[in-house]
Structure 1
Amino acid sequence: MPRKNIAIIVPTLNKGGAERVAANLSAEFSKYYNVYVIVHDGRDITYPYGGILCDLKIPPSNSKIKKIINLIKRIRAVRKIKQRYSIDYTLSHLPPANYVNIFSRKKDKIYTFVHSTEKNTLKNIIRMKTVALLSDKVICVSECIRNNLIHNFKISEKKLVTVYNFCPGLKPGDNYCELEHREHKQSDTITVVNMGRLSKPKGQWHLIRAFSHVVKKHKNVRLEIIGDGELRDDLKELTKKLNIENHVYFAGFLINPFERLARADIYVSSSLYEGLPMALIEAGMCGIPIISTDCDGCREYVAPNTVEAKNSMNEDKFGILVPAFNEGTISQTELTPNEKILADAIETLISDREKRKHFGIMARQRSLDFIPDKIMKQWFELLT
């Protein structure tokens, strides 16, 4: 039987979480299908991919008129690619690529991804209803995204399917967690790590303020923030205001963060909202005990059987949840009540080695729900 032809459209393959998901899919799909990775702008590729790269060379623009012109150009270019390679299925990630996908249909089936829980503003409702109407399936990377689209956007359940992201190369026998290393490491320093784009949705300023409270009681702690973004300078300035710049290290973007993750003692997600963050799956893959804000996507990983958010610290099956944050002000130095709860959760794990070990094992166990073999079974059904 001839291989099916699969196209994957994503604006770039540069740094972001959705971009990493697209790259991971292309690499895994290329074992079974003919894969064509279509990018709007291929000048700066950071993630390895599988298949043939089709660079449209149509970068983004801030001009409204130019945006419309670029959309038309991309649609025409992708339509030609679909025809040239007899594409059977086209998967697209992020709104700009989803628009290109739905309006460039040939004989292919259209699958559009939604990676985050959207607010039901008029603009978002119009966009989502248009995308859903013209897609064969809308792929939700978590159940909370699917429920949001059903209840707040009134999208038909028949259009929606939940397919979790996977960690490439993750399989049950792998030993990423290095628990033995943590038990016998020479240094007494406790390393807290956070990973994600330095941007407002990730809320790292809340973590930094909470960490400043932790440092007052525990001098042997260090915070490492993996990632880069528009808030880097603001976050660095905040560490100086709080006099903790010697305790906080900004590692920048790392293509392969696993070695650094595996040497950490505690992982903290401070996100304001999430679909289902790859960073949590990767932290779990490395066997790090997880503390996370109680937003929908993170709760689905840490406490999959819990529906509603809570207003206190909760030790759940696969980690610890703390109340979610409002956006707030980055530059303020005074702790909010929820930041104090986060500080208490970090101190709980710092002070209890056995609890750290327990939640590290449980985080690792949860990550096995996201192994490629398990997720690919679902894709095989969708691509038949």
Structure 2
Amino acid sequence: MLRLRTSILTHLAIPSSSAYPCSSPCRLLSATAPPISPNPSSFAVEDYLVGTCGLTRPQALKASAKLSHLKSPSKPDAVLAFLAGLGLSGADAAAVVVKDPRLLCAKVDKTLAPVVAGLTGLGLSRSEIGRLVSLAPANSRCRSIVSKLDYYLPLFGSIDNLLRPLRRSNCLLRCNLDKVVKPNVAFLQECGLGACDIVKLCIPAERILTTNPEQVRAMVACAQRLGMPPGSGMFRYALQAVAFLTQEKITAKVEYLKNTFRWSDAEVALAVSRNPSVLRRSKESLQRKSDFLISVVGLEPAYISRISVFITFSLECRLRPRHYVVNFLKENGLLDRERSYYAFCRMTDKAFTDKYICPHKEAAPHLAKYYAAACRGELPAQ
């Protein structure tokens, strides 16, 4: 594999003025493809996948079932050379083959090179195309990927923003643009969301764009029932919170919030309107935070409903350690004035350390060590 890659990269030394080494597939193939085995019938796909592509034996066994028709290494060698030309390492190429073994059967001159030329025309660099191929090798064999990126790139604003959801799923590249994605985008824009809002909405939940348009309308209606109509500041957060949750699940979670935090109907409505993401918190997490905030810290349920962002803070890394630090400072007369619990919970870790830990190095030399241990879940004995 190393010898093959060395040979490939040697032949791919192309002047920097060339945008893509694979823009001339015929030259690339003639320069990099190893000679075809003199005895094609002796070509063993599984051994090739292990020895040349770098797959493990179990991976090769699984992938070879889709490549049983290959009779020589000429086409796979050309594809590997092509991937090397996009900047993919041997490990990257192996991962691509595991995801999509059939890529090794693709014709470089008629399939892969035209796709890369089209993506180059959209302004993508060689390394950006290589990253795209690594995440979506099967889609990279289809020329339709060019027209889809021609639509997605202006919407997402950059290839980096687009690649983030593609790391989880390729549904954006598989979905029908005209029948699904474009109608959903148009509807969300009618709801007052700009392109930037849509991207922020879909980077963590890209399926909102690729799901049935009628279901997206149902999600919007659900967000409205929570008191956040289209155009309101919290609408995007509400839509993200209720996405793909049934009305029954939302109703059950609202009831659980009421019981767990001892809220009235008005208080739970206020909490959800100010922080819709509480609807996606697990019951275990909600119960533990309720026990701590009400029973240990002593906060009133009404206060928590007004500042429901408390529920999104980490209990182990933020709420509990900071509570113990501030209590220690109070008990030892080291806190100059009373501050609300929210005031020090909202700070970044650096700001909290600078304000509540560092000034007391002499009076409490072990406080920093204890705070760090508490943040790791190792509560000190005292």
Structure 1 length as normaliser, TM-score? 0.23
Structure 2 length as normaliser, TM-score? 0.23
Between structure 1 and structure 2, the one with the greater Rg is 2
Q: Which has the higher contact order (CA 8 A, sep 6+)?
A: 1
